[in-house]
Every structure is written in structure tokens, then in C-alpha cells.
Amino acid sequence: MPTGIQHHPPLIIGHRGASRHAPENTLASFRLAWDQGADGIESDFRLTADGRIVCIHDATTARTASGDLCIAESSLDELRRLDAGSWKGTAWADAVIPTLDEVLAALPPYTWFFIEIKSGPEIISPLENVLRTSGVSPERIRLLSFSAELIAELKQRLPDWKYCWLSDYRHTLLNNRWSPSRDEVFATLDRIGADGLASANRAILDRAMVDMLKETGRELHVWTVDNLTAARHLCDLGVTSIMTNRPGWLRQRLEENSPS
């Protein structure tokens, strides 16, 4: 973990920043999360047509900006002309879509940064350039993707960083089966050499699964948790971090309910 400060697990990570109260994936949202005491932030990144890496979840800007542009087909200049904050309220009208460079430059010391990669292998070379020139230690960064193949390739090409495979699950009532199953999750983690699992908060995350992750030296980061009861349960299981849209609120409630 980042040196210079002692964190007590689980870490509280602002999911797209403090996105309950500020426009997601903007510097304003990240700064609010840090101001609220988040241990770090999680955000989403895509590659533009001119090879820049920008912070946005969707493949287009329609949901979170003033126009409807496809990220992969637009230049950074075109994307920066959009208002990325007014949809959340007039107070955020000056917000723009930030670049990865800008987010890295804004990181407070000793905080974590979870980078979810939404593009394919074409992002690897520009990602390496940004990360290596940022001055931010690899130990403060976790790279996340739903693509096991992308993580495997990143591990080979950028071995200095740590990687977590993102997974959600479907539950079939007929045979009471999760897909992927616990065995399938661990088989994937082993195959791609992942350093951890970034998991949706589902019932498959029981004591046995969490213990198996710990025994294999892997981290467990859980998303997206805005409920106190669920967060307490995850604390009891001993997860590495909890990603939440309400980092300040959740930290306060957990501290109020922690044993003295």
C-alpha cells in the first residue's frame, strides 16, 4: 500500500469520485471525495481518436455531457468543449472531461488511484507513457478491467503495476449456481496472474471465498456499496477496500459504529 500513512482496512474508495453529490469522473468529484476523507478514487478511462486517455465511463458522452460524441471517434479538443457537469446541477457547469494526466497530477500524497480501463489493447502504449511520466508510484495505483485477456497482456507489458480483474455474477435459482462460479473466478485469476479481484457486491463473496483470496495473497476490492449494513458485512469479512458513491458518509457511519 502507499507508504507514509497507515490505512486501516477496509479502504474507502470514491467510486467515480464522490459521485452521489458531484458529477462523476470529473476533477470536482475527485476533489470532493478527497475532501471527505476517501483513501482513494476509482475512475474509468477511454482512448480518444487522437490517442489521449480521458476519464469517462460510457462509450459516448450522451449521459454525462452536453453533447453526444463517441469517445473513440472524437478528439480531445472536441470532448473538452462539452459541459460535463451541468447534468448534476448548475454549480458544476464548469466541469470538463479530464485526462488521465490531469487526474494523476491532482492526486494528493499517499492516496490510492484505481484506473478502470474501458478501451482495448490499443490503450496500452499511451497508458504506459502517461503512467511512467506521471511521477506517481506504481504502488499507489491499481489497474482494473473486465477483460481478462487485457489484464494478461498488461501484466506482460507493464509488470511494475498491479492488476485486478473486474467481475460481476449471475445467479441461477434453478440450480443455485453463480456464474462465474468461485472455481471459475480463481481459475481466471490464476490464468492471467491477477493481483486481486475487483468484485461486485454479491452473496458469492462469503467467508470462504474471501479467505481463499487472502490465502493466495490477493486483494479484494468490492463495488459499489452505498448501504451501511452491506458495508459492515464487508468489513467483517476483511475486504481490502469498499468502493462507494458516498465516501464521506460511509466513512462517518462506519466510524460511528466501530467498536471503541
Burial of 26 (0-12, 13-18, 19+ CB in 10 A): buried
Residue 4, pLDDT above cutoff 90: no
Torsions phi, psi for 52 (to 5 deg): -100, 155
Give the CATH superfamily of 11-56+98-256: Phosphatidylinositol (PI) phosphodiesterase (3.20.20.190)
Largest CA distance in the chain: 54
pLDDT of residue 259: 60
Tell me how far CA of residue 206 lies from CA of 20, 61, 233, in angstroms: 27, 37, 10
Neighbours of 112 (CB within 10 A): 23
Terminal CA-CA length for the chain: 25
At 24, the amino acid letter reads E
Distance CA 92, CA 243 (A): 23
Spans of all domains in the chain: 11-56+98-256
pLDDT of residue 8: 54
**How much is the average pLDDT of 1-10?**
52
* Per-residue pLDDT reduced to its tens digit, 84-142: 999 999 999 999 999 999 999 999 999 999 999 999 999 999 999 999 999 999 999 99
Neighbours of 60 (CB within 10 A): 16
Distance CA 242, CA 220 (A): 9
* Per-residue pLDDT reduced to its tens digit, 209-226: 999 999 999 999 999 999
Q: Which helix H or strand E contains 190, and what residues bound it?
A: helix 182-192
Q: Which helix H or strand E contains 165, and what residues bound it?
A: strand 162-167
Query: Mean pLDDT of all residues in the chain?
Result: 95
Tell me how far CA of residue 172 lies from CA of 42, 148, 176, 202, 207, in angstroms: 30, 23, 5, 13, 21
Please report the DSSP string for 128-190 in residue order: HHHHHHH---GGGEEEEES-HHHHHHHHHH-TTSEEEEEE--EEETTTTEEES-HHHHHHHHH
